[in-house]
Amino acid sequence: MRNWFQIIAIGLAAGATAPAFGHAVRSEVRPERGPYVFPFESCGPTGPNGEVICTWNTIIGAASGGVSFAEHGRCDVVRSQRPFWVVEPVGGDPNDPRLEDPAYKAEYDWVVSQLRSTACSCCHSSAWGAEASSWDIDAPGVFLDQMTGRGLAILQGEFADEDAELQGALSPEENFGFTRNGSSVPTTDVERFTSFFKAEMDARGITQEDIDGYRSFPGEFFRSIKDEESVPCEPGLGIRADGTMNWGEEAARYILVMQPGSENPMSPPTRDVPEGTLWKLNIKSFAPAVNSGLRYGETVTNSHQRFPLPDRAPEALVPGQDYKFYVLRDVTNRLLNCTFTYPVE
């Protein structure tokens, strides 16, 4: 099963336009992409009252309101979590008369401030020192002119429920009041944020029929992962009586042992440990992936026991019982999704 970085690369190689918005591609998928960097919190600098500020380095993360995500977060980490190539932003009039309207300008500035505080700005803001792709909140004029109807529909929240279900969401309490409940992009005021983009869609005459024709990317890809059924493991794949695990010849970065019938793991950090997970081991992004031969419940150098908590042992396996074995080369790049009866020979 290919991951979505590979799917996009294949499409571009075949002459397809970039799936996100369809402008001319200036540079294609990066030829050397490192492993997915698992989301983590960056703490510091301190807040106005001396408190330490911790920001989640994840595509669904946000910084404290009014602060650029790039100031407190790690955009290099965020970009490792999504396919990124430069699609030159097109459009925008520096003398756009809408910016002379005080009411419009106030809402526009607020929307830009919201976007700048989210990890979305890692790909859509040139202010932090890297090229923006598709649309740039720092370009002259009104950045909405750089967006297609589908792009507007995403920010207007048309795919918000599916995005939250498949890609996860942080709670407002751990994301500085930003929420994805009703919005694909985290915001502190869903109605105000989505209404701004709805007004632009109405001004363009975009209809519900148009919206229904837009492709929910990457929703389609994540839906295919969620709906994939586990199959019986090939002979010898699974866990032996001594706890040794065998997932085949390829190296892996994420290993899960689960109850049969458990949902497939999705996007970190909120959808990667489904209910029914007995044990999950992550290999850190700076370390090589590992080969078969590890033991169930044991860690190795440069690994992290994601579940259960690192100081706890996983549930003991019961002879004669079936278990689901889910192994990934990297996030969204599944190597194995099969069910075995413990122990295997």
Q: pLDDT tens, 120-133? A: 999 999 998 888 99
In the chain, the number of structural domains is 2
**Greatest CA separation found in the chain?**
74
Is 134 found in the same domain as 28? yes
Q: Which residues pair with 137 in a beta bridge?
A: none
More confident residue, 67 or 33: 67
| Co-location of 238 and 327 in the same domain | yes
Instruction: Show the domain range for 329.
Output: 230-341
Virtual torsion, Cα 163, 169, 172, 177, nearest 10 deg = -60
Its pTM stands at 0.86
**The dihedral of CA 293, 299, 302, 303: what is its sign?**
positive
- 273 pLDDT higher than 90: yes
Contact criterion met (CB below 8 Å) for 297 and 317: no
Instruction: Please tell me the predicted confidence (pLDDT) of residue 163.
Output: 82
42 has a pLDDT exceeding 80? yes
- The pLDDT value given to residue 32: 52
The Cβ of residue 338 has, within 10 Å, a number of other Cβ atoms equal to 17
- Tell whether 210 and 104 lie within a shared domain: yes
For residues 170 and 309, membership in a common domain is answered with: no
Q: Is residue 211 located within the same domain as residue 298?
A: no
Q: What is the mean pLDDT of residues 77-93?
A: 87
Residues 16 and 60 both lie in one domain? yes
Boundary-marking domain end, from 201, 223, 245:
223
Residues 149 and 234 in one domain: no
- Same domain, yes or no: 164 and 282: no
Distances (CA, A) of 335 to 45, 172, 249, 250: 40, 34, 10, 8
Backbone dihedral region for residue 6 (phi beyond 0: left; psi -120 to 50: alpha; all else: beta): alpha
Q: Is 106 exposed, middle or buried (0-12, 13-18, 19+ CB in 10 A)?
A: exposed
pLDDT of the residue at 18: 36
| Helix and strand counts by DSSP (H, E) for the chain | 10, 12
Write down which residue in 202, 223, 244 finishes a domain.
223
pLDDT at position 206 over 90: yes
Domain boundary among 191, 223, 255: 223
> With pLDDT > 70 as the criterion, what percentage of the chain qualifies?
88
- Give yes or no: residues 239 and 264 share one domain: yes
Place of tokens 């290999």: 283
Q: Is pLDDT at 24 greater than 90 in this prediction?
A: no
Given a cut of 50, whether residue 30 has pLDDT beyond it is no
Looking at the structure, tell me whether residues 245 and 214 fall in a common domain: no
Residues 154, 292 share a domain:
no
- The mean pLDDT value for 170-176 works out to 94
**In the numeric block, which tokens belong to residue 254?**
């994420």
Both 168 and 262 in a single domain? no
pLDDT of residue 14 exceeding 70: no
Q: What is the mean pLDDT of residues 37-44?
A: 91
